[in-house]
Amino acid sequence: MPLEEELFPSTPGKFKDRNRHVHRCFASTSTIFLWALFLIAITASYLCFRSLVDGGNQYFSKHNWSKQIFESAKIRRTHGMSVLVTGAAGFVGSHVSIALKKRGDGVVGLDNFNDYYDVSLKKARKNLLSENSVFIVEGDINDMKLLVRLFEIAKFTHVMHLAAQAGVRYAMENPNSYIHSNIAGLVTLLEVCKNVPIQPAVVWASSSSVYGLNEKVPFSESDRTDQPASLYAATKKAGEEITHTYNHIYGLSITGLRFFTVYGPWGRPDMAYFSFTRNILQGKPITIYRAKNRVDLARDFTYIDDVVKGCIGSLDTSGKSTGSGGKKRGPAPYRIFNLGNTSPVTVPMMVGMLEKNLKVKAKKNFVVMPGNGDVPFTHANITSARKAFGYKPATDLQTGLKKFVRWYLSYYGYNQGKL
């Protein structure tokens, strides 16, 4: 009876032994299983806890992250301010951050290091900021959790908002990048600013491009701005309206700055004076746009140090936001200023200055300006900024370009000019 023997072994002990073996086996498997379950539960709760604490953001878990922000935001002078500078790895942002830090204000930078132009230049600016004890957080202004966390760590008194998708022609290639940074990102930032218990004052970069197709010169802040010539200009104009809403509903102190063609050391490679320098050094031709009837384009080129002074003057005189936790408690300042140089120079004249400084003749290609967003001229009336905070540009184009070329050659070298 082999089957029965198997089911009912002849010796009970044998049966008992096998039963115990099976039981022991089962017991140890279930113990392992229980332990595994326990470990999984512990790991899951830990991860859950981390994500609650961190908001699930990759940045927060980085070693020393909060401490670096806290230190960088520390105010080191009487009546100083603590400023969140967005776009701090950018041209204007890096200069403003260093200037604020040097006078003892707390500064924390925020930048997403996008590749609109050479990222290594942004990284080099970041290193420069680091040498000046300014910490830059790598992140996007659309990341609300990140912004909230930054405001928890550092109680910013001011926001200098310079992060944006800049450039006029690139909008035909990548229009959504302008919506992402200049519209959606701006709203996310303002949402966070209006929600915090002590609202910061916000100073942000609009642009002279809002004057669009206007022909009356010089451009004054009260002139019409409803004829943008590019999507970039339209997003900056939208920014002026959006910031007005946040001022009106939530009591945020707002200052919009209309920059006029800012240039100088550590500048933006996509701008004409910069790419012309590179091409002239490399012996390549440069394309110079002209308006119809062979009229030269002209720009109110503004040297970076003057713009930095304008930004800091705006921060110093911004006045307080009145709201708290999303509730307005009274009217707050809403201001808009031109930050220009008040002396436009034609593009061929600018090229002549570059040739002189580089000691190389440019190969010029004159082309009729295509309808891609550029305007024929810009010219700022700066009376309002002068009255409000003594804004007085001090560097003419000749002097400013000399400084730019000196920087360019020290950074890229004479023969390289590579980007």
Q: Which residues bind ligand NAD (CB under 6 A)?
A: 86-87, 89-93, 111-114, 122, 140-142, 162-166, 181, 185, 205, 207, 259, 261-262, 268
Shortest Cβ distance from residue 128 to ligand NAD (Å)?
13
Interatomic CA distance for residues 89 and 285, integer angstroms: 30
Interatomic CA distance for residues 167 and 208, integer angstroms: 12
Nearer to ligand NAD, 200 or 239 (CB): 239
Distances from the Cα of 150 to the Cα of 39, 59, 106, 192, 243, angstroms: 33, 11, 13, 10, 21
Nearer to ligand NAD, 110 or 322 (CB): 110
Nearer to ligand NAD, 6 or 131 (CB): 131
Residue closest to ligand NAD (Cβ): 90
The continuous run of DSSP H or E covering 242 comes out as helix 231-250
Shortest Cβ distance from residue 89 to ligand NAD (Å)?
4
CB-hemisphere CA count at 13 Å for 412?
26
Nearer to ligand NAD, 207 or 357 (CB): 207
Nearer to ligand NAD, 205 or 323 (CB): 205
Shortest Cβ distance from residue 308 to ligand NAD (Å)?
11
Shortest Cβ distance from residue 268 to ligand NAD (Å)?
5
- Of the listed 232, 250, 263, 408, which one is catalytic? 232
Helices assigned H by DSSP within 74-184: 91-102, 119-131, 144-153, 175-178
Nearer to ligand NAD, 112 or 318 (CB): 112
Interatomic CA distance for residues 38 and 321, integer angstroms: 51
DSSP structure class, residue 180: I
| CB atoms closer than 10 angstroms to residue 414 | 12
Nearer to ligand NAD, 323 or 340 (CB): 340
Residues 6+ apart with CB under 8 A from 145: 55, 56, 57
Distances from the Cα of 14 to the Cα of 1, 18, 27, 28, angstroms: 17, 6, 20, 21
Residues 6+ apart with CB under 8 A from 180: 142, 165
Residue 80 amino acid letter: G
Residue 30 amino acid letter: S
Shortest Cβ distance from residue 71 to ligand NAD (Å)?
21
Helix (H, G, I), strand (E, B) or coil at 175: helix
Handedness of CA 285, 291, 295, 299 (dihedral sign): negative
Shortest Cβ distance from residue 84 to ligand NAD (Å)?
11
Cα–Cα–Cα angle for 153, 158, 160, nearest 5°? 105
Handedness of CA 239, 105, 70, 152 (dihedral sign): negative
Shortest Cβ distance from residue 285 to ligand NAD (Å)?
24
Shortest Cβ distance from residue 149 to ligand NAD (Å)?
15
| Residue 414 a catalytic site member | no
Residue 171 amino acid letter: A
Nearer to ligand NAD, 166 or 375 (CB): 166
218 preceded by a cis bond (ω within 30 of 0): yes
Strand segments, DSSP code E, in 27-114 are: 82-86, 106-111
Question: Which amino acids are annotated catalytic?
Answer: 232
